[in-house]
């Protein structure tokens, strides 16, 4: 049986005139609650928007589904909901993983938990207003989930490289394809993990981090892959939010196949590849630094190989699961538009054409909003691309 998947995305709220982010989530959410339901067409997406740590962010989510085409329709509908509510408030929503332009100090959402996070973790929390994509895949038990997490860790940097969509920060090029990954790594509970071995091992590490103060609660376990707090799922959290929904869904489908393949390996009691945490961090750093424009660490060869070769190896490794879910063609498309032309590359192209960070923001907003039209179809209908 095909596993269900669900997607959470974080979006930025921009001022279309200044291109700076605006701490206006309460205003946008008020607009949505008072007027959004009546104006928007009924869609399959979870018809809600939510706040995030900072007021310049919104969160959207899809309902669990086994059909990737349905997930795409939901994701687009959720983005349209966010975008129309933002436009009604005089703003624009954009799928970009870091804030490209420097602006006023981030404003924390009025929430006791968020305020406590900032008080406890200081500057780490105050600079944490980045936007990611979290993919949930259902599991049968915590034991299966930990068996999956232990086996997929070496492949996760490849997913980060493909999704990288955050080269600019504070008005300059960071030199990284995913600067978000570097910002996120500052949290003491974030990043890649060595093998836990069992659900008890996972719980033991969790309790240690809570005891040491590295996380105030289980919701702050920011592992690249973790057991979800509220759902019976494995949650993969390291991807940048993608501007193009096709990339987001292709990555989600690839993640589902990776999870399914790892679950079968766990059920067959196949050994877990042993990696030091230091080596996994180096793999992730390289993916964050170069994205798909340079060589990545090949998880089975354990040496640097071209990004295309590593992504091809991942697709081959999970091909049976992709075929069973009907997702092989969808994920194969990543080879066509993610190698050398992912979100980070397109942001840099926009800057090279104009010499302006403002133009980068304009491009992100345009691509985000154009995707409502290009992909705004019912499940199973033809799907285009916003590239170009």
pLDDT digits (tens, 9 = 90+) for 90-147: 999 999 999 998 766 566 666 677 778 788 888 887 776 789 999 999 999 999 999 9
* Residues in the chain, total: 388
Is residue 205 scored above 60 in pLDDT? yes
Determine the distance from the C-alpha atom of residue 212 to the mean position of all C-alpha atoms in its chain, rounded to a whole number.
28
C-alpha span between 26 and 167 (Å, rounded)? 28
**Is 383 in a helix, a strand, or coil?**
coil
pLDDT at residue 164, rounded to an integer: 97
As a whole-number percent, the residues of the chain with pLDDT over 90 amount to 67
Average pLDDT over residues 339-360: 93
Which ranges in the chain belong to alpha helices (H)?
A: 25-31, 37-39, 68-88, 112-121, 123-126, 142-152, 156-163, 179-184, 199-212, 245-267, 277-290, 307-317, 319-325, 328-332, 334-337, 343-354, 357-374
Q: Between 60 and 251, whose confidence is greater?
A: 251
pLDDT at residue 111, rounded to an integer: 67
Is residue 58 scored above 90 in pLDDT? no
- Environment class of residue 317 by beta-carbon count within 10 Å: exposed (0-12), middle (13-18) or buried (19+)? middle
- Using alpha carbons only, how large is the chain's radius of gyration in Å? 19
Average pLDDT over residues 274-286: 96
What is residue 292's DSSP assignment? T
- Of the listed ranges 80-84, 112-116, 243-247, the least confidently predicted one is 112-116
pLDDT at residue 336, rounded to an integer: 79
Average pLDDT over residues 261-280: 96
C-alpha span between 154 and 164 (Å, rounded)? 17
C-beta separation of 36 from 89 below 8 A: no
Domain boundaries 5-374, corresponding CATH code: 3.30.590.20
Delimit the domains of the chain by residue range.
5-374
pLDDT at residue 196, rounded to an integer: 97
pLDDT at residue 384, rounded to an integer: 40
C-alpha span between 175 and 47 (Å, rounded)? 37
pLDDT at residue 246, rounded to an integer: 92
C-alpha span between 377 and 21 (Å, rounded)? 30
pLDDT digits (tens, 9 = 90+) for 9-44: 999 999 999 999 888 777 777 777 766 544 444 344
What's the whole-model pTM score?
0.92
Residues in Cβ contact with 313 at an 8 Å cutoff, skipping those fewer than 6 apart: 298, 299, 300, 305
Q: Between 375 and 4, whose confidence is greater?
A: 4
* Count of beta carbons in the 10 Å neighbourhood of residue 119: 11
pLDDT at residue 182, rounded to an integer: 96
Q: Strand pairing of 57-61 and 5-14?
A: antiparallel
Q: Which of 184, 179, 185, 182 is nearest to 167 (CA)?
A: 179
pLDDT digits (tens, 9 = 90+) for 150-200: 999 999 999 999 999 999 998 999 999 999 999 999 999 999 999 999 999
Tell the residue number behind the tokens 């980045």, with chain if given: 130
Average pLDDT over residues 256-283: 97
Tell the residue number behind the tokens 């759902």, with chain if given: 231
C-beta separation of 75 from 241 below 8 A: no
C-alpha span between 331 and 117 (Å, rounded)? 37
pLDDT at residue 105, rounded to an integer: 57
* Count of beta carbons in the 10 Å neighbourhood of residue 33: 12
* Count of beta carbons in the 10 Å neighbourhood of residue 126: 15
Tell the residue number behind the tokens 């990543």, with chain if given: 334
Sign (positive/negative) of CA torsion 319, 66, 292, 147? negative
Q: Which of 380, 139, 334 is nearest to 256 (CA)?
A: 139
Confidence at 344, pLDDT banded by 50, 70, 90: very high
Mean pLDDT of the chain: 88
Is residue 235 scored above 90 in pLDDT? yes
pLDDT digits (tens, 9 = 90+) for 283-310: 999 999 999 999 999 999 999 999 999 9
């Amino acid at each position: 049986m095909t596993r269900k998947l669900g997607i959470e995305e974080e979006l930025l709220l921009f001022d279309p005139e200044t291109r700076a982010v605006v701490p206006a989530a309460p205003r946008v959410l008020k607009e949505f609650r008072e007027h959004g339901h009546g104006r928007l067409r009924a869609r399959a997406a979870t018809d809600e928007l939510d706040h995030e740590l900072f007021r310049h962010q919104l969160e959207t989510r899809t309902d669990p589904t086994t059909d990737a085409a349905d997930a795409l329709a939901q994701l687009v509908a959720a983005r349209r909901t966010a975008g129309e509510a933002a436009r009604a408030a005089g703003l624009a929503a954009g799928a970009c993983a870091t804030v490209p332009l420097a602006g006023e100090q981030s404003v924390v959402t009025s929430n006791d938990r968020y305020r406590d996070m900032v008080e406890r973790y200081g500057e780490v929390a105050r600079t944490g207003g980045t936007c990611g994509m979290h993919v949930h895949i259902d599991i049968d038990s915590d034991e299966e989930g930990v068996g999956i997490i232990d086996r997929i860790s070496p492949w996760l940097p490849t997913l980060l490289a493909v999704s990288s969509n955050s080269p600019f920060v504070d008005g300059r090029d960071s030199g990284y394809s995913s600067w978000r990954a570097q910002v996120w790594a500052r949290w003491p509970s974030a990043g890649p993990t060595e093998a836990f071995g069992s659900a008890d091992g996972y719980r033991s590490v969790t309790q240690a981090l809570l005891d040491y103060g590295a996380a105030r609660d289980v919701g702050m376990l920011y592992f690249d892959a973790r057991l979800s707090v509220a759902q019976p799922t494995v949650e993969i959290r390291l991807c940048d939010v993608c501007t193009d929904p096709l990339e987001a869904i292709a990555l989600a489908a690839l993640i589902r196949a990776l999870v399914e393949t790892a679950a079968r390996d766990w059920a067959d009691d196949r050994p877990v590849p042993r990696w030091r945490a230091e080596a996994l961090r180096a793999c992730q750093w390289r993916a964050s630094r170069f994205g798909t424009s340079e060589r990545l660490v090949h998880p089975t060869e354990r040496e640097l190989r071209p990004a295309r070769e590593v992504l091809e190896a991942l697709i081959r490794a999970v091909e049976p699961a992709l075929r069973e879910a009907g997702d092989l063609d969808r994920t194969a498309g990543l080879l066509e538009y993610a190698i050398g032309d992912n979100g980070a590359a397109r942001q840099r192209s926009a800057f090279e054409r104009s010499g302006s960070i403002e133009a980068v923001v304009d491009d992100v907003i345009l691509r985000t909003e154009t995707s409502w039209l290009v992909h705004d179809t019912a499940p199973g209908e033809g799907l285009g691309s916003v590239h170009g």
